[in-house]
Amino acid sequence: MSPHKHDASLKAIDLSHHLNSKSKARHPSPLKDIIRFMAVENMVTLAGGLPHPSLFPIYDATISISNPSKTGEMKLSLSNEQTDTPLSSFLQYGTSAGNAKLRQWCEEFTKRVHMPLYEDFETLLHTGNTNAWSKVVGLLCEEGDYILCESHIYPSAQAYWIPQGNLAAPVALDEQGIRDDALEQILRNWEITHPGVNRPHVLYLVSVGSNPTGVTMGTERRQRIYDICVKFDVIIVEDDPYFFLQYPEYSMGNQVEGQVISNEKFLASLVPSFLRFDYQGRVIRLESLSKTVAPGLRLGYFVANSLFTERLLRASEVETQDPSGMSQALVYGLMQQWGTEGYLTWLQTIRIEYQTRRDWIIKAFAKQFTLKPAAEVPEISSSEGIAALIGSVPIFSFVPPTGGMFIWTTFYLNQNPNFKKLQLDSAIEDPEQLFGHTLWENLAEELVLLTPGSYYYPWQGKDKVTTKARGAEPEIVNLRFSFSMATMEEMELGVARLAKVVKSSWQLE
């Protein structure tokens, strides 16, 4: 078991054998060495092709921002007159690691919130978690490698690795995300199930408010997952944009409104990240500001051991360079204006708002369907979460999310007459897939748009795309609901339209 207390003597172990051949071959960009020497006192710079800052057409900016501790607005001023961090310094070419002062804030915030166990972790800015993940694949994965992941996975994550020749090794899920027993079984039996194929050494997961399932992994489960990864020498890539959007469990008929509490109590209420268990430096954490500030900024940061950040920096120098200077200036100014305590208060307010929206959509379900604990409905395969019925017919079930922005629903087709007809047609290879697409189209025609569950099925190769070939549960389809954007009235209208389509398809009218 790993220690649970920070120890200044702990250092990351040597994990260089995880680097792929491309990453090992990267060299520092010589142009970045020139920028480093420009900072030397009395240096006469006749080398770099930097535009002169006096010719930048942006001199200053004043932005209205939220006041996290009270109603009303605050003003954020960005100017060249600021001596410590003039606006022009953000607009100029910089090191690909990002602005040093902003990175220092990221490091201090990481220590405050996540309390990594080992000492020599580093932060490195990136242009959002989607790009960050692509860089990690380019760091660790060779062509043909399998990547451990949740059995329902964020589609953009695998859309990058599929052309790279990588395949998913999906791990079974429950109400807390990937199961530790399933992970250990896959790794322990890999040479038997995949003879001649390298055992996966990278685990990718969204451990809070998983997209699409909305589930959050508990503390004890995280400890077991981490220990298994130590045992089998696996790197954990924790994609965590929803970390601060953690909610209490939903209790039918007994919802409690969220309240702003002290920041210490707020942090104590959050399930810890994998950094809290990482005493070897085998966690690469992808931090994002997309869900807590604004996605259009395209700004986030890595937290990882220095071996990984150095190689990721080499990739950034020749692929993306540093993130947008205006984004960095705005975020740094925002954090300076609010302070860490103000930012934590802001995070509390948005958590409360999204928790309220989660409760709205479940109440909308309750207006159109009879909701029961899934364990009380023997006709369905799931005993977790809540089942939605029309009369005595189970239509779908879901686990109320404890984080993030999504509800993942499983629709049961064994009492749907239209699906039964598809099953009897020998010419139809995958009746579940065909029915799911038709249901999604019918919903869109009724002016309610959901995301098809098929988007989230892990890619295991061209020979494993049908329901049967994937070994998936038969006679079900999945749909993902998002509760982040719609108003309460829109949710009620959308679910009413859903009920109309369901009644027609199941012939319950």
Contact indicator for 447, 368 with CB cutoff of 8 Å: no
Q: Report the range out of 247-256, 397-406, 459-468 with the highest average pLDDT.
A: 397-406
Among 116, 182, 192, smallest CA distance to 149 is for 182
Among 448, 442, 435, 440, smallest CA distance to 479 is for 440
Secondary structure element (H or E) that encloses residue 215, with its range: none
What integer pLDDT is reported at residue 393 of this predicted model?
A: 95
Secondary structure element (H or E) that encloses residue 33, with its range: helix 30-38
Q: In this structure, which amino acid lies at residue 348? A: Q
In this structure, are 246 and 188 located in the same domain? yes
The CATH number for 298's domain is 3.40.640.10
Q: At what angle do helices 219-231 and 180-188 cross, to 10 degrees?
A: 10
What distance lies between CA 286 and its chain's CA centroid?
A: 8
Q: In this structure, which amino acid lies at residue 105? A: W
Tokens of 305: 């051991």
Residue 349 lies in a domain: no
Residue 75 lies in a domain: no
Q: How far apart are CA 409 and CA 419, in angstroms?
A: 18
In this structure, are 98 and 204 located in the same domain? yes
Task: Tell the burial category of 46 from Cβ atoms under 10 Å away from its Cβ (0-12, 13-18, 19+).
Answer: exposed
Task: Tell the burial category of 311 from Cβ atoms under 10 Å away from its Cβ (0-12, 13-18, 19+).
Answer: buried
Residue 203's pLDDT band, with cuts at 50, 70 and 90, is: very high
Residue 4's pLDDT band, with cuts at 50, 70 and 90, is: low
Strands annotated E in 115-264: 121-126, 146-150, 167-171, 173-174, 177-178, 202-205, 235-239
Residue 419 lies in a domain: yes
C-alpha torsion 171→173→176→178, nearest 10: 0
Domain assignment of residue 252, given as a range:
20-49+90-331
Q: How far apart are CA 34 and CA 31, in angstroms?
A: 5
Higher pLDDT, 162 or 71: 162
Contact indicator for 322, 125 with CB cutoff of 8 Å: yes
Tokens of 152: 């329902």
In this structure, are 303 and 447 located in the same domain? no
Total domains in the fold of the chain:
2
Q: How many CA within 13 A on the CB side of residue 4?
A: 6
Contact indicator for 315, 343 with CB cutoff of 8 Å: no
Contact indicator for 2, 117 with CB cutoff of 8 Å: yes
Which of 331, 354, 378 is a domain's end point?
331
Residue 464 lies in a domain: yes
pLDDT digits (tens, 9 = 90+) for 279-299: 999 999 999 999 998 888 899
Residue 5 lies in a domain: no
Q: How far apart are CA 32 and CA 29, in angstroms?
A: 6
In this structure, are 184 and 322 located in the same domain? yes
β-bridge partners, 481: 407
CA angle, 407 then 413 then 417, to 5°: 140
Residue 213's pLDDT band, with cuts at 50, 70 and 90, is: very high
Residue 509 has pLDDT above 70, yes or no: yes
Contact indicator for 238, 286 with CB cutoff of 8 Å: yes
β-bridge partners, 74: 65
Q: How far apart are CA 207 and CA 283, in angstroms?
A: 13
Mean pLDDT of the chain: 89
Q: How far apart are CA 124 and CA 321, in angstroms?
A: 11
In this structure, are 100 and 35 located in the same domain? yes
In this structure, are 255 and 384 located in the same domain? no
Residue 9 lies in a domain: no
Q: How many CA within 13 A on the CB side of residue 274?
A: 33
Residue 8 has pLDDT above 60, yes or no: no
The residue whose two tokens read 């022009």 is 88
Q: How far apart are CA 98 and CA 325, in angstroms?
A: 9
Q: Is 251 helix (H, G, I), strand (E, B) or coil?
A: coil
Residue 437 has pLDDT above 80, yes or no: yes
Q: In this structure, which amino acid lies at residue 148? A: L
Residue 86 has pLDDT above 60, yes or no: yes
Residue 33 lies in a domain: yes
In this structure, are 284 and 407 located in the same domain? no
Backbone angles phi, psi at 136, to 5 degrees: -70, -40
The CATH number for 457's domain is 3.90.1150.160
In this structure, are 412 and 296 located in the same domain? no
In this structure, are 326 and 373 located in the same domain? no
Among 244, 5, 271, 266, smallest CA distance to 116 is for 5
Q: How far apart are CA 164 and CA 455, in angstroms?
A: 19
Residue 34 has pLDDT above 80, yes or no: no
CA dihedral sign of residues 306, 307, 312, 313: positive
Residue 136 has pLDDT above 60, yes or no: yes
pTM of the prediction?
0.91
What integer pLDDT is reported at residue 35 of this predicted model?
A: 65
Q: How far apart are CA 410 and CA 154, in angstroms?
A: 17
What integer pLDDT is reported at residue 196 of this predicted model?
A: 93
DSSP letter (8 states) at residue 170: E
Q: In this structure, which amino acid lies at residue 4? A: H
C-alpha torsion 461→462→463→468, nearest 10: 90
Contact indicator for 137, 315 with CB cutoff of 8 Å: no
Q: Report the range out of 31-40, 396-405, 458-467 with the highest average pLDDT.
A: 396-405
CA dihedral sign of residues 117, 122, 128, 132: negative
Tokens of 73: 């607005």
The residue whose two tokens read 């090992």 is 24
Residue 338 lies in a domain: no
In this structure, are 126 and 36 located in the same domain? yes
What integer pLDDT is reported at residue 1 of this predicted model?
A: 46
Which of 303, 331, 359 is a domain's end point?
331
In this structure, are 313 and 409 located in the same domain? no
In this structure, are 310 and 376 located in the same domain? no
